[in-house]
Amino acid sequence: MSHSPQSVLSALSLAATGKVYDLEGVRDQDMPLWDGHPAFQVMTYRTPQGVKNQPDHKAFPEPNEPSISLISDLVMGTTHSGTHIDALGHTVTGEDQHWYCGKAATDLGDFGPLTGSASELPLIITRGVLIDIPAEVGHPLAAGEPFGVEQFDAVVERRGLTINPGDVVLFRTGAGDVWDDTAQFLTRDGGGITLEVAQRLSAAGVVAVGGETSTVEVQPSTVAGNPHPVHEHLLIENGIHIIENMVLSELAADAPEEFLFLAFPLKIRGATGSMLRPVALT
């Protein structure tokens, strides 16, 4: 997405109270992770003891007067761990395995997609809208429970909600409430929106769709023969990004009608997504 000065100023005007909501879940080796991604791990790479005992670090000679040293680490895992945003090269379809704009094998190198990778992810400074599903249906969505277009339309009509081009629409399902308890999270992961809801959002011209589960869309799919119709529709057919594994309970507790939404992905060439720290301000 491209930001005009006018659109940025309009979005910034939504932050009237100065309250900030952190929409990211904590990452660690025990967090939930969608099947098909490598495990996430943080490993200590250099330690004060190692620097002292070896001693092989030019910047920290041993001994030195204040005994100053360092701890550094190695982070291993997928860019799709924890709260993250899908780049357009993440999901492919068809016999040619193409992604957005028909890019396929001719645009795939040894180090990831040559087009549609995380290096092309946009800065997002825009209006946000929250759909609090547990508040609407009376309970957190269970794994496999859909939030369909009839329910979505009813929320829009009851609230008099307008979804504008360039908006980000977030769906709280209740899974974010138990992000720190993987066993409990898995009882709720897979509750999500249907293809028809995604079609409403693409018709409105949104720039991204977010949610609290590992897919945002309902899993298993409600579309026979298509395991990920929402990903196909949003990412591949319409170039609309998906933000997964968000934590939206604090934002939902205040139930703002609209808010300033900020998200700044990392520019990693060849990656198919980016870890993300999305923020809402009211």
pLDDT one-digit tens code per residue, 63-104: 999 999 999 999 999 999 999 999 999 999 999 999 999 999
Residue 2 pLDDT = 72
Mean pLDDT across the chain: 97
| Closest to 99 measured CA to CA, from 274, 265, 234 | 234
pLDDT one-digit tens code per residue, 26-38: 999 999 999 999 9
pLDDT of 186 higher than 80: yes
Residues in the chain: 282
pLDDT band at 18 (very low <50, low <70, confident <90, very high): very high
Residue 279 pLDDT = 98
Dihedral pair phi/psi, residue 20, rounded to 5°: -115, 135
Residues of the chain with pLDDT > 90, as a percent, come to: 98
List domains and CATH numbers for the chain.
5-29+79-281 (3.50.30.50), 41-76 (no CATH)
pLDDT of 190 higher than 80: yes
Residue 51 pLDDT = 95
Residues of the chain with pLDDT > 70, as a percent, come to: 100
Residue 105 pLDDT = 85
In angstroms, the CA 139 to CA 148 distance is 15
* Cα 278 to Cα 9, 25, 34, 72, 215, distances in angstroms: 19, 10, 20, 26, 17
pLDDT one-digit tens code per residue, 211-270: 999 999 999 999 999 999 999 999 999 999 999 999 999 999 999 999 999 999 999 999
pLDDT of 1 higher than 90: no
pLDDT band at 163 (very low <50, low <70, confident <90, very high): very high
| Closest to 131 measured CA to CA, from 118, 148, 114, 145 | 148
Residue 95 pLDDT = 94
Q: Taking the CA of residue 10 as centre, how many other CA atoms within 13 Å lie in the half-sphere pointing to its CB?
A: 11
